[in-house]
Structures are given as C-alpha cells and as structure tokens.
C-alpha cells in the first residue's frame, strides 16, 4: 500500500473509533453528559428554572440514556422546588394582603370606638340635661 493511502485509512479508522467513543456512556465529553452536567450545575447554583429546562431538554433528546432515570428524578425534585417556591411567593403575597386588610380593619375599629365614645359622651350630656329639665319641671309644678 502506498503511504498516503495508509495515512488516509488510518485517519478514517481513528475518526470512526473516536466517533464511536463519543456515544459510549463512559465517555465524559459526550453531548448527553455535558447537558446533564449543565443541568446539575444550574440546580446546584439555585438556578432552578434553568435547571428544569435543561433536564427537560436532556430527557427529550436522550430518553434512553443510561442517566435518564437520574435526570428524571433530579428534574422532578427541581420541579417540586419551583412549584414550592411559587406557592410560597403566592402565600407571602396573600399574607401581605391579609395583613393590609387587618391593618385597615383595626383602623376602622379604632375610628368606630372613638365614635362610640363620642356618642356615649353626647348621650351622657343629654341625660344630664334631661335630668336638669326634669328637676326644673318638678320645681315649677310645686310652685303652682
């Protein structure tokens, strides 16, 4: 064989061998593994929405990968975290709204209490005036 043919054949065989290695599950730089590493890193860095999207992408692209089971569990865990955080935000907003309502109701109660006290004082004054009028009326009756 000629040296050029041998070199070309060697390059083709080497490329085929390396291409096959990229699909092996132990090969650390395969696209599936890299995508899963990115998803795990996003989850570790608390970027949960991004991690969720990356896990979904991994599962859509590589459903038969050896790490698909672990990716699914991680995805479900991250989805639960996202859902829980959303619920927590919703509940905090609801709590804030309820606290605002309570503050307004307390202000209303304080205002009504002042009105009651004011009317009570007015009522007491009117009773006292009525008693004085009764006394005057009795004195006038006695004089006649």
pLDDT for the residue numbered 21: 45
Residues 110-142 pLDDT 10s: 999 999 999 999 999 999 999 999 899 888 888
64 within domain boundaries: yes
The pTM score is 0.59
pLDDT for the residue numbered 26: 54
19 within domain boundaries: no
- Write out the residue range of the structural domain in which residue 59 sits: 29-143
Give the per-residue SS3 of 105-143. HHHHHHHHHHHHHHHHHHHHHHHHHHHHHHHHHHHHHHH
Residues 21-37 pLDDT 10s: 444 445 557 899 999 99
17 within domain boundaries: no
Are 33 and 21 a contacting pair, CB within 8 Å? no
1 within domain boundaries: no
62 within domain boundaries: yes
106 within domain boundaries: yes
39 within domain boundaries: yes
Number of domains in the chain: 1
15 within domain boundaries: no
């Amino acid at each position: 064989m000629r040296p050029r043919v041998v070199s070309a054949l060697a390059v083709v065989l080497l490329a085929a061998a390396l291409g096959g290695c990229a699909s092996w599950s132990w090969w650390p730089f395969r696209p599936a593994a890299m995508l899963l590493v990115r998803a795990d890193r996003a989850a570790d860095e608390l970027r949960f929405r991004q991690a969720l999207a990356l896990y979904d992408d991994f599962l859509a692209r590589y459903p038969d990968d050896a790490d698909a089971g672990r990716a699914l569990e991680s995805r479900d865990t991250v989805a639960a975290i996202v859902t829980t955080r959303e619920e927590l935000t919703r509940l905090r907003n609801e709590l804030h709204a309820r606290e605002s309502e309570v503050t307004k109701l307390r202000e209303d109660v304080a205002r009504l209490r002042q009105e009651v006290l004011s009317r009570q004082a007015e009522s007491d004054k009117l009773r006292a005036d009525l008693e004085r009028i009764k006394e005057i009326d009795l004195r006038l009756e006695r004089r006649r």
